């Protein structure tokens, strides 16, 4: 019985040494913010305008969200109608914390007022 346990332990340890272990770290930032409109459609228009102005590559407007990338970070923005103001939900993910934080910071500042930041 002991030799069987030793053999199993050796196989497990050997497998861990031989098998490549890939660890990935991701940064994810998200938040919601009121927008200077009350309708979902107007909020989405503002969000798409900001995404385009900031130069998000592959910026697309779908039925549910605006998506695009910048600095190696991927962003998704969606909106909900509200009274008196609609809400934008901003989500940014990247394998670089600095990239995710930078893009999130730009979006969270620009979207509430429909403000177009200078690049």
pLDDT (tens, 9 = 90+) of the chain, 119 residues, equals 455 554 444 444 444 444 445 546 689 999 999 998 899 999 999 999 999 999 999 999 999 999 999 999 999 999 999 889 999 999 999 999 999 999 999 999 999 877 544 43
Residue 67 pLDDT? 97
Residue 49 neighbours by CB under 8 Å, 6+ apart: 114, 116
The pLDDT, as a whole number, for residue 12 is 43
Backbone angles phi, psi at 67, to 5 degrees: -130, 155
Residue-level pLDDT at 16? 43
pLDDT for position 113: 73
Cα–Cα distance between 15 and 23 in angstroms, integer?
17
Structure tokens belonging to residue 88: 């934008």
Q: Domain 26-110 - what CATH class?
A: alpha beta
């Amino acid at each position: 019985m002991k030799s069987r346990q030793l053999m199993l332990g050796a196989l497990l340890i050997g497998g861990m040494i031989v098998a490549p272990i890939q660890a990935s770290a991701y940064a994810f930032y998200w938040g919601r913010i009121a927008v200077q409109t009350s309708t979902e459609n107007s909020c989405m228009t503002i969000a798409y305008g900001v995404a385009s102005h900031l130069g998000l590559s592959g910026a697309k407007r779908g039925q549910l969200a605006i998506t695009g990338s910048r600095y190696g970070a991927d962003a998704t923005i969606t909106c909900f109608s509200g009274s008196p103001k609609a809400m934008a939900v901003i989500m940014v993910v990247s394998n670089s914390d600095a990239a995710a934080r930078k893009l999130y910071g730009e979006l969270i500042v620009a979207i509430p007022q429909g403000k177009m930041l200078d690049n």
